[in-house]
Structure 1
Amino acid sequence: MNDQYRETEAGERYARAAFDLALDQKILDKVQADAETLKALLTESAELRAVVASPFYKSEVKLNALLAVAAKAKLQELTKKTLGVMAANGRLNHLFPLITAFNKLYAAHKGIVSAEVTSAAALSDEQTASLKAALTKALGGQADIRTQVDPALLGGLKVRVGSRLFDASLKTKLDSLKFALKKA
């Protein structure tokens, strides 16, 4: 069994525990916001990421760094306690898998469907809103879309929902036409 699998599995266990407690305490939305805050802080700060991931720092040092950040970010008590339990068990290096697993549990609970949209040019706010409404209707759940730009598409869109890919890009259509012409 590889280390990444163990990290993911441990992160999922901590996420499930935190999720269930947040649901019981009726603070699920607040704890989910904490998870997003922690993710942003870890993503933006190479120093914080290094402290949390490093095997050279003791759990106490890692926890103190995270609690200092948590105090400034005004994180929920449950979030701080979860960090404390992870530190006590030497599992703070599983923080990213915990955040990922918690966000998946939250999305499933709220009926939120995540979609990655790639377009040839940046979408306007109106186009994004229209696409979000269409995806919400088609998928039967609130759509949460992340957009990115890939000029190689030439036009159209690629929409990935889970493992499904809907490709309506001009590049793919031209490639299909090129392949069909070669066969003819």
Structure 2
Amino acid sequence: MADLTTIARPYAKAAFDFAVEQKALEQWTEMLAFVAEVAANEHVAVQLKRESANTLVNLFTTVCAEQLNEHGLNLIKLMAENGRLNALPAVLALFLEYKAELAKEITADVVSATELDAAQQAQISASLEQRLARKVKLNCSVDASLMAGVIIQAGDLVIDSSVKGQLAKLSETLQA
């Protein structure tokens, strides 16, 4: 079966374009978040594999009635007819990526050997904002196995300045 991201991309792009056109990004974000949560529910996930499109549309209409507008319901119907409701979490993820791209924002995951203080976080954020030309939001975590340094991942960009990473590079160089 094709990758869920590949399946979700046209639905997410269409929903995003429509939301931008209608100036309803926040409303669509909320709708997609809700239906993605419903689709990810273990009981509903079982139903997605077994039930007909009409039954699934009725299920989502019943569960999500107050959260969906007419256009959101149309998306659910289309995805149900195509057997793609299991891709709703991926649709949400792509929609959020498109939304961040429009707002010129990016989330960077920063893993450090020790807890970063506010000044260090501000310095990393400022450097990334300058390099990527977008507003950066940091998700910081600690991994003591890095020994020292940080690993920063923002989209496709990965900066590994950890001692563990540098030792691995040195090892590869020496073995070559």
Matched residue, 1:93: 86
Distance in 2 (alpha carbons) for counterparts of 1:35 and 1:132: 29
Within 1, Cα distance between the matches of 2:153 and 2:9? 24
- Residue 57 (1) aligns with residue 51 (2): yes
Q: CA deviation at 1:42?
A: 4.5
Partners of 2:27 and 2:120 in 1: CA distance: 26
Corresponding residue pairs, total: 174
Relative to structure 1, is the Cα distance of residues 177 and 23 closer, same or farther in structure 2, using a 3 angstrom cutoff? Answer: closer
TM-score, structure 2 normalization: 0.76
Alignment CA distance shift 1:176-1:9 (3 Å): closer
**Unpaired segments of 5 or more residues in structure 1?**
none
> Residue in 2 aligned with 1:114?
107
- Give CA deviations for 1:115-136 in whole Å, capped at 9, x if unaligned: 2222234556x36852444433
Cα distance change, pair 111–63 in 1 and its aligned pair in 2 (3 A) = same
- Which letter maps to 2:29? Q
> CA–CA distance in 2 between the matches of 1:47 and 1:128?
44
1:1-150 matches, cutoff 5 A = 3-5=1-3, 7-43=4-40, 45-52=41-48, 54=49, 56-71=50-65, 74-121=67-114, 123=116, 126=118, 130=122, 131-150=124-143
Question: Residue 21 of structure 1: SS of its match in structure 2?
Answer: helix
Q: Which amino acid aligns with 2:45?
A: R
4+ residue segments displaced more than 4 Å: 40-43, 121-124, 174-180
State how far apart, in whole Å, the 2-side matches of 1:158 and 1:58 are: 46
Change beyond 3 A, Cα 1:134–1:42:
farther
| TM, length-normalised to structure 1 | 0.73
1:151 counterpart residue number: 144
Going from structure 1 to structure 2, the CA distance change for 1:179 and 1:81 (only over 3 Å counts) comes to closer
The root-mean-square deviation of aligned C-alpha atoms, in Å, is 3.1
Question: Counterpart amino acid of 2:14?
Answer: A
Separation of aligned partners in 2, 1:34 and 1:129:
33
Range with bigger deviation, 157-166 or 92-101: 92-101
State the AA in 2 paired with 1:23.
V
SS of 1:4's equivalent in the other structure is: coil
Equivalent pairs: percent with the same residue? Answer: 25
Whole-angstrom distance in 1 between the partners of 2:42 and 2:34: 15
